[in-house]
Amino acid sequence: MNQSKISVRYAKALFLAARDMQVLDAVYQDMSLVRQLFSDLPELSTILENPVITPKQKRALFEQTFKKYVQPLSYRFFQLLLKNNREIFLPDITRVFADYYKKEKGITHAALHSAVKIRRDLKEKLTRLLKHQLKSDIQFSEIVDPELIGGFILTVEDEQYDASIRHQLQNIRQELSK
């Protein structure tokens, strides 16, 4: 079975169980925490993928790291992953779970890349505009990328609007080279 199918099946099972048990928001917070841990500590993936580390050691690591801090359902889910030797899929599972959660809650993710940090009032105005246009709650993130020179790139789900100066310069270069 390929990697994405495994991640989707486990994430969907956890999502449905959390929804049925009415702990969906809490499990989402747990999965967000785990996702952030994998992002902040790449060594964690290395540990889970290392065949020298025994399943018993991995269970002990998960118990020490998560048992007191996450929902019982989340912890049982981690134990299931370890039992089935699927712990290496945890980063992907957390990503897929977040997608299911956002779809359930009607949340759309938007990211604004700009050369400088945008003003708070402008960010709020953009969030309101997107919320009105998409008829969805907006989860907004801002990324400062000085290489854009100026302007911005707005990404909403899988659509992108590039109004950066870097992009405009590339277009001019292409036109001149023809």
The answer to whether residues 86 and 13 belong to one domain is yes
The answer to whether residues 119 and 61 belong to one domain is no
The answer to whether residues 31 and 97 belong to one domain is yes
Token readout for 176 is 């001149």
Measured CA to CA, the distance from residue 41 to residue 137 in angstroms comes to 30
* Last-in-domain residue among 68, 103, 138: 103
The answer to whether residues 91 and 135 belong to one domain is no
* Last-in-domain residue among 49, 72, 103: 103
Residue span of the structural domain in which 115 resides = 106-177
- pLDDT averaged over consecutive 10-residue blocks of the chain (178 residues)? 82 97 97 93 88 91 92 96 94 95 91 90 89 87 87 87 87 88
The answer to whether residues 123 and 80 belong to one domain is no
Instruction: Give the pLDDT confidence of 83-133 residue by residue, as tens digits.
Output: 999 999 999 999 999 999 999 999 998 899 998 998 999 889 988 988 888
Question: Domain of 56: which CATH number?
Answer: 1.10.520.20
Q: Measuring CA to CA, which residue among 10, 12, 28, 19 is closest to residue 71?
A: 28
Measured CA to CA, the distance from residue 24 to residue 175 in angstroms comes to 51
Q: Using an 8 Å Cβ cutoff, are 66 and 56 in contact?
A: no
Q: Using an 8 Å Cβ cutoff, are 15 and 24 in contact?
A: yes
The answer to whether residues 89 and 112 belong to one domain is no
The answer to whether residues 20 and 92 belong to one domain is yes
* Last-in-domain residue among 52, 73, 103: 103
Which residue is it, tokens 């134990």? 79
The answer to whether residues 97 and 11 belong to one domain is yes
The answer to whether residues 68 and 126 belong to one domain is no
Q: Measuring CA to CA, which residue among 27, 71, 64 is closest to residue 47?
A: 64
pTM of the shown model: 0.74
Domain count, the chain: 2
The answer to whether residues 16 and 96 belong to one domain is yes
Please state the φ and ψ torsions of residue 155, each to the nearest 5 degrees.
Answer: -115, 125
